[in-house]
Amino acid sequence: MIYTPLKTTSFVVREFLLKVNKTHSALTIGIPKENTRFEKRLALTPEAVALLVDQGHKVIVESEAGLPINYSDNYYSESGANIVNSKADVFEANLILKI
């Protein structure tokens, strides 16, 4: 028996697609009005809210939260957000986005 240490081998790469789970749980995302004196930012713009709503999430925005960044409640509601008057309603969400 003759032993040959250098044997030619080759590898074949096989690509295959994994199944992506399309079922995900929808989040309820709350955006409260910023309450510090000099804060003029807000966590999400109406465009970002529209992206989240398109993914199946629910977005709750406190009334007049977008005024410091020149977005009225109408912009947020047209993007699919729910506008609420009380901060307590916003903080019932699963996720709070705040600066």
pTM of the model: 0.74
Digit-coded pLDDT (tens) for 38-69 = 889 999 999 999 999 999 999 999 999 999 99
For the chain, the average pLDDT equals 89
What pLDDT sits at residue 75? 97
Fold of 28-96: Rossmann fold (3.40.50)
SS3 letters across 34-91: CCCCCCCCCCCCHHHHHHHHHCCCEEEEECCCCHHHCCCHHHHHHCCCEEECCHHHHC
Per-residue pLDDT band for 29 (boundaries 50, 70, 90) equals very high
Per-residue pLDDT reduced to its tens digit, 9-20: 677 778 887 776
Question: Model confidence at 5, in pLDDT bands (50, 70, 90)?
Answer: low
